[in-house]
C-alpha cells in the first residue's frame, strides 16, 4: 500500500507520451517537418498498433477531448462576429462549394459501392473536412498565408470549421432507426434548438461577459483572469451539452463571445500554452489509431481511401477555387493544401461509431488512410509549387472564368513601348500605379486576382488577368519594350519564377521587386533581379527612427544611426523623413508655451520694433515669427516696426508669455 502512495493514475503513461513526443518532434524539426506530423507519428509508435507503450487509450482520449474543446474555444477567440461576417462575404461561396462538392461526390461514390445512405452521407462529411492545424502551420512557415492560394485555403478552412457544428448535429440522427420524415423532423428540431441556444448564449454573454471580465481585470490578478476564461470555455460547453448539443459548439461560442470584448487578445495569450498541451495529446491519440495491420490486410481499400483524399478531394477543392476565379497556379496549390483528412473528421468518426452510423470494419481503414494523408501533406505542400503539370492541366479553364486576359491588350491600336510593367495589384501595386499616372508614365498591370482585375477594369485602368510566371503573359505585356518591371506579389515561390521568366523574356529591362525577408535578397539578385527591397529592413528602420524620436535623440544622431543600419543592409533612394515634433513632445521644452498677439491701430507696439520695446529683456519671451498680409516671416528683423494687422508669435514660460502679451497689447490711451 505504501509503495503506491506516490503513484498517480496515467502519470507513467503521460510521461512516456511526453518523452517520446519530444524526441520525435526534435527529429522532425531537424528535417523541418511540422510539429503536428511529429505528434501523429509519435502516437503511431506509442499506440496499440505500434510498440504498445500506452495502455489506457480511453483515458488519454478523454484528455484529448479537452484539447478539442480548448481548440474550438481558441478558434472562436480568433474570429469574433465581425470577422466571421467579413469571411462570409469574401469566401463563403468558395468554401461552400468545396464542402458541398466533396460531400456530394463522396456520397455518390459510396452509394455506387453499395453503402447505405446514412453511412454514405457520413463519409461525405468526413471527406469534406481538412486539417486546419497542419495546413495553416505549413502555409505560415512558407509565408504563403497572404498569397492567393493561401487566402482561399484559410477562408475554406474557416468555413469547414463552422460546418462542423451542423455536421455534429446531423450525425447522431443518421443512426436513428426512425423513418426519413421523422429523421428530417428531428434534424430540423435539432437545428432549431441549436439556433435558439446559440442566440441565447450570445445574447446573454454579450450582456454579462464584458462586465464580468472588466471586474476581474480590475483586481489585477492574472490567475483569476485565466480561471475566468476557462470557466467561460467549459461553462458554455457544458450548457450546450445540457441542451443536447456538442461540447465543441459550446466552446466555439464561448470563444466567439470573449473575442468580441476588449480582452480577446489577452485571453488568447493566456490560454494558448494550455491549449497547445492538450491539443498535442489530441494528435498523439489520433496517431494511435494508425493501424499498420489494416494496411497489410486491406491495402486496396486503404489505398483507395488515401487516393480519395489526395486526388479526389484535391481536385474538387481545385475546381472550387477555379469557380471563384482564382488562377490555375493558385487553384492547384489550394487543391494540394486541402487534400487531407481533418482533425475534426476524427471527432465525427468517433461520433459516427458511437451512434452506429459506421462500422469498425470501415472506420479503421478510413482513419488509417486519413492519418496517412495528414502525414504526407507537409511534403506535398513543400513540393507542389515546383510542379508545373497541375497548372498546365488547369490552364485551359482559366479563359472560362470571365476575367480579361493580358493577351487582349494586343487588341489595342496603340503600341506598348517605354512603359512600366507592374506585376501584382495589391496595396503596393496600386500606389505605384497612382504615382505613375500622376507622373504621366504609361503602365500595364498583370494581376492574378480576377476580382481585382474586374474592379480595376471597371475604373478604366490597364489591369489584366494573367499569370506572370508565363513567358506568354510577359510577351503580351511587351515586357521587352518596357522601361522597367516592378514585381510586388506576396507569393515568394511565384516571385522567384517571375524573376527567372522575366530575365529570359526581357533580359535588358531592369526589374525592381520587394521581398519579405532580408535573407532572400541575395538569392533574388542572383536570379536576375536588378534591385530588391526587403520589407523587414524598411519596417525595422521606420520603427527605429520613430523610437529614437520618442526618446528625444537629436536628429543628426538619428540620421547617423539610420545610415549605419543601411550600410549593413540596403540603401534607399528617398530622403529620410520624421514626423514634425511639437513642444509637448520634448520633455525639456514641455514648460514653454506659444502664444500670438494681434497688433491693433491703437496698440503702443504698432509702429515700433521689438528692439525699441525691449520685449526680450523686459519679459523674457522670444518673438519667433510674425504673420504679415498672409505671409509668415519666420526670421523677423528685431529692428523692423510692427504694422497694424500683424500677428506676433511668442514663445516662453507662462509668466514671460503673459508679460509679453500685456506689453504688446497695451493701448496708447493706457500709457
**Rounded percentage of the chain residues whose pLDDT exceeds 70:** 85
- Best CA proximity match to 466, nearest among 486, 484, 449: 449
pLDDT, tens only, 451-489:
788 888 888 899 988 878 878 788 888 999 999 999 999
Strand order in 593-598's β-sheet? 593-598, 647-652, 622-628, 631-633
Residue 413 confidence (pLDDT) above 50: no
Q: Which of 184-188, 210-214, 317-321, 490-494 has the lowest mean pLDDT?
A: 184-188
- Per-residue model confidence as pLDDT tens digits over 328-378: 788 888 999 999 998 888 888 888 988 889 988 899 899 999 989 988 888
pLDDT of 140 above 50:
yes
pLDDT for res 1: 45
User: Which pLDDT score is estimated for 592?
Assistant: 84
**H or E element: which one contains 422?**
strand 420-423
pLDDT at 336: 93
pLDDT grade for 430, boundaries at 50, 70 and 90: very high
Instruction: Decide if pLDDT at 9 tops 90.
Output: no
445: pLDDT strictly greater than 90: yes
Rounded Cα gap, residues 248 and 234, in angstroms: 10
Closest CA to 339 of 364, 360, 319, 365: 319
Which has the closest alpha carbon to 133: 169, 155, 157, 152? 157
d(CA 408, CA 473): 11
Cα–Cα distance, 405 to 407 (Å, whole number) = 5
| Reported pTM | 0.66
User: What is the sign of the dihedral through the CA atoms of 227, 233, 236 and 242?
Assistant: negative
Q: Within 13 A of 114's CA, how many CA atoms are on the CB side?
A: 1
Q: Which residues of 59-98 are buried (b: 16+ CB within 10 A; e: fewer)?
A: ebbebbbbbbbbbbbbbbbebbeeebeebbeebbebbebb
- Please answer whether residues 506 and 479 qualify as being in contact, where contact means their C-beta atoms are separated by less than 8 angstroms: yes
Q: Which residues have a Cβ under 8 Å from the Cβ of 167 and sit 6 or more positions away? A: 125, 348
- Locate the DSSP E strands across 162-285: none
540 contact partners, CB below 8 Å, separation of at least 6: 565
pLDDT, mean of residues 417-438: 92
- Where does the pLDDT of residue 303 fall: very low under 50, low under 70, confident under 90, or very high at 90 and above? very high
Q: Is the pLDDT of residue 449 over 80?
A: no
- 446: which strand partners? 423, 464
Q: Work out the pLDDT band at 404, boundaries 50, 70, 90.
A: very low
Amino acid at each position: 500500500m505504501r509503495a503506491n502512495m506516490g503513484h498517480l493514475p496515467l502519470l507513467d503513461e503521460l510521461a512516456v507520451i511526453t518523452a517520446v513526443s519530444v524526441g520525435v518532434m526534435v527529429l522532425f524539426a531537424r528535417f523541418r517537418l511540422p510539429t503536428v506530423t511529429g505528434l501523429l507519428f509519435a502516437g503511431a509508435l506509442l499506440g496499440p498498433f505500434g510498440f504498445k507503450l500506452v495502455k489506457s487509450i480511453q483515458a488519454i482520449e478523454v484528455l484529448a477531448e479537452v484539447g478539442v474543446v480548448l481548440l474550438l474555444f481558441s478558434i472562436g477567440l480568433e474570429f469574433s462576429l465581425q470577422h466571421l461576417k467579413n469571411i462570409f462575404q469574401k469566401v463563403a461561396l468558395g468554401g461552400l462549394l468545396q464542402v458541398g462538392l466533396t460531400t456530394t461526390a463522396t456520397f455518390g461514390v459510396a452509394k455506387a459501392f453499395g453503402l447505405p445512405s446514412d453511412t454514405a452521407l457520413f463519409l461525405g462529411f468526413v471527406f469534406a473536412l481538412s486539417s486546419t492545424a497542419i495546413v495553416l502551420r505549413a502555409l505560415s512557415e512558407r509565408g504563403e498565408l497572404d498569397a492567393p492560394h493561401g487566402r482561399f485555403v484559410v477562408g475554406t478552412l474557416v468555413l469547414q470549421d463552422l460546418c462542423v457544428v451542423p455536421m455534429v448535429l446531423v450525425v447522431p440522427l443518421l443512426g436513428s432507426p426512425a423513418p426519413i420524415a421523422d429523421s428530417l423532423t428531428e434534424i430540423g428540431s435539432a437545428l432549431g434548438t441549436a439556433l435558439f441556444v446559440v442566440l441565447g448564449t450570445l445574447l446573454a454573454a454579450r450582456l454579462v461577459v464584458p462586465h464580468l471580465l472588466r471586474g476581474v481585470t480590475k483586481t489585477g490578478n492574472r490567475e483569476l483572469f485565466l480561471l475566468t476564461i476557462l470557466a467561460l470555455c467549459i461553462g458554455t460547453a457544458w450548457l450546450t451539452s445540457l441542451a443536447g448539443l456538442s461540447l465543441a459548439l459550446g466552446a466555439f461560442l464561448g470563444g466567439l463571445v470573449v473575442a468580441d470584448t476588449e480582452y480577446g487578445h489577452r485571453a488568447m495569450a493566456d490560454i494558448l500554452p494550455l491549449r497547445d498541451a492538450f491539443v498535442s495529446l489530441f494528435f498523439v491519440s489520433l496517431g494511435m489509431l494508425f493501424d499498420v495491420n489494416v494496411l497489410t490486410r486491406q491495402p486496396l481499400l486503404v489505398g483507395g481511401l488515401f487516393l480519395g483524399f489526395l486526388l479526389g478531394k484535391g481536385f474538387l477543392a481545385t475546381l472550387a477555387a477555379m469557380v471563384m476565379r482564382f488562377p490555375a497556379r493558385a487553384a492547384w496549390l489550394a487543391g494540394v493544401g486541402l487534400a487531407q483528412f481533418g482533425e475534426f473528421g476524427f471527432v465525427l468518426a468517433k461520433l459516427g461509431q458511437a451512434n452506429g452510423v459506421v462500422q469498425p470494419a470501415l472506420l479503421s481503414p478510413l482513419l488509417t488512410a486519413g492519418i496517412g494523408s495528414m502525414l504526407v501533406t507537409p511534403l506535398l505542400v513543400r513540393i507542389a509549387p515546383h510542379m508545373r503539370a497541375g497548372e498546365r492541366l488547369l490552364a485551359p479553364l482559366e479563359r472560362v472564368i470571365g476575367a480579361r486576359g493580358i493577351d487582349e491588350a494586343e487588341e489595342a491600336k496603340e503600341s506598348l513601348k517605354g512603359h512600366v510593367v507592374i506585376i501584382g495589384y495589391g496595396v503596393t501595386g496600386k500606389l505605384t500605379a497612382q504615382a505613375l499616372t500622376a507622373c504621366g508614365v504609361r503602365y500595364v498591370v498583370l494581376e492574378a486576382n480576377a476580382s481585382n482585375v474586374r474592379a480595376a477594369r471597371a475604373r478604366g485602368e490597364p489591369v489584366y488577368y494573367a499569370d506572370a510566371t508565363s513567358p506568354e503573359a510577359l510577351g503580351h505585356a511587351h515586357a521587352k519594350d518596357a522601361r522597367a518591371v516592378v514585381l510586388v506579389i506576396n507569393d515568394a515561390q511565384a516571385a522567384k519564377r517571375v524573376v527567372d521568366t522575366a530575365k529570359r523574356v526581357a533580359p535588358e529591362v531592369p526589374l525592381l521587386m520587394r521581398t519579405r525577408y532580408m535573407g532572400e535578397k541575395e538569392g533574388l539578385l542572383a536570379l536576375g533581379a536588378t534591385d530588391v527591397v526587403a520589407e523587414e529592413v524598411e519596417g525595422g528602420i521606420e520603427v527605429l527612427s520613430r523610437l529614437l524620436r520618442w526618446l528625444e535623440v537629436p536628429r543628426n544622431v538619428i540620421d547617423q544611426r539610420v545610415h549605419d543600419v543601411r550600410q549593413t543592409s540596403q540603401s534607399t533612394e528617398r530622403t529620410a523623413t520624421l514626423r514634425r515634433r511639437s513642444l509637448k513632445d520634448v520633455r525639456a521644452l514641455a514648460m514653454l508655451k506659444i502664444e500670438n498677439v494681434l497688433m491693433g491701430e491703437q496698440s503702443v507696439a504698432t509702429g515700433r520694433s521689438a528692439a525699441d520695446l525691449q520685449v526680450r529683456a523686459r519679459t523674457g519671451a522670444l518673438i519667433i515669427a510674425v504673420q504679415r498680409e498672409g505671409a509668415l516671416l519666420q526670421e523677423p528683423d528685431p529692428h523692423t516696426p510692427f504694422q497694424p494687422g500683424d500677428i506676433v508669435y511668442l514663445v516662453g514660460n507662462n509668466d514671460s508669455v503673459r508679460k509679453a502679451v500685456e506689453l504688446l497689447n497695451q493701448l496708447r490711451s493706457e500709457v
